[in-house]
Amino acid sequence: MELWFEEQLEVSQGRIFKVKCTELIESVRSAFQKIDVYETVSFGKMLVHDDVIMVTERDESHYHEMIVHVALNTHPLPERVLVIGGGDGGTMREVLRHPEVRQAHLCEIDPEVVRVCRKHFPALACSFDDPRVELFFADGAEFIRTHKASYDVIIVDSSDPVGPAEVLFRKEFYQGMFHALRPDGVAVTQSESFQYHAPVIAEVAAFSRAIFPVYRYFYALVPTYPSGLIGFSFCSKKYDPLADFIEPRAKALTGLSYYNPEIHRASFVLPEFTRAFL
């Protein structure tokens, strides 16, 4: 029998995404969620949380490079960085490409995600072994409340706004991020697809603009995410990702497969219907 993984995006609207697999490598249930690892025909190993695709080896770089480098090539001195979520290690891997980073904290609510990814995704999770990195297993919203004015950059690598990640899409969390950032800090958060999730994005944009002096929305193309793209909210106390873009730093990065200076700029160019609801 053929093995297919099926992600039910929005069944009521007729949207289902299927990936052909050769093996279910591991399946565990943590205190927070079900975690599965598949070997796929087209995308390499695939990490799934509660039947929603999180990472595939083939296209993970699209997401991880964009959620990190837009922010770290805008802030002039990102010495202290916090990643909330991101238990697979891919976001932290990209953070560590920047020599300006002296200390990087990862706050992941589910230690089982880190364990599974150390085992099955070592090319991502090896980032946790860097001496600049410290891991904290805690709720991200609670964590930032106890770290006032602590970080130059905060990156929220979250799952969708259901279950443990729901709190990360609330106004109170963004207010907490504002206070956890230093006076010129930058935050980037996973902010869904503008094709499918306009109400969520519009709500986040509205309260972000009320909190941060600078707000912009940008996106990346990720084939295995709903609609083939994923968006991000850029929230800043001072710096603008276009006006303050540090292009020489972006050009100095090596070993990337998606991000470049042209993509940095182009990712902020949005369709008319997206501009309308934003």
Pick the CATH number of 3-56 from 2.30.140.10, 3.40.1350.10, 2.40.50.140, 2.40.110.10: 2.30.140.10
**201: pLDDT strictly greater than 80:** yes
Query: What does the alpha-carbon distance between residue 146 and residue 254 come to, in Å, rounded to a whole number?
Result: 35
Q: What is the pLDDT of residues 231-260, one digit of tens each?
A: 999 999 999 999 999 999 999 999 999 999
Q: What is the pLDDT of residues 164-188, one digit of tens each?
A: 667 888 999 999 999 999 999 999 9
- Give CA torsion, residues 67, 69, 73, 74, to 10 deg: -10
Selecting among 59, 110, 152, 157, the annotated active-site residue is 157
Task: State in Å, rounded, how far the first CA of the chain is from the last one.
Answer: 46
* Helix runs in the chain, H state only: 60-72, 90-95, 111-120, 122-125, 140-145, 171-180, 198-211, 247-252, 261-266, 272-277
Q: What is the pLDDT of residues 8-55, one digit of tens each?
A: 877 667 889 999 999 999 999 999 999 999 999 999 999 999 999 999
The mean pLDDT value of the chain amounts to 95
* Annotated domain spans of the chain: 3-56, 60-277
- Verify whether residue 157 is a known catalytic residue: yes
The whole-number pLDDT of residue 85 equals 96
The whole-number pLDDT of residue 11 equals 62
Query: What does the alpha-carbon distance between residue 5 and residue 27 come to, in Å, rounded to a whole number?
Result: 13
Does the pTM exceed 0.85? yes
Question: Which CATH fold topology does 60-277 show?
Answer: Rossmann fold (3.40.50)
Residues near 214 by beta carbon (within 8 Å), at least 6 away in sequence? 234, 235, 236, 237, 238, 239, 240
DSSP summary character for residue 263: H
Residue whose C-alpha is closest to residue 237's, from 26, 102, 7, 74:
74
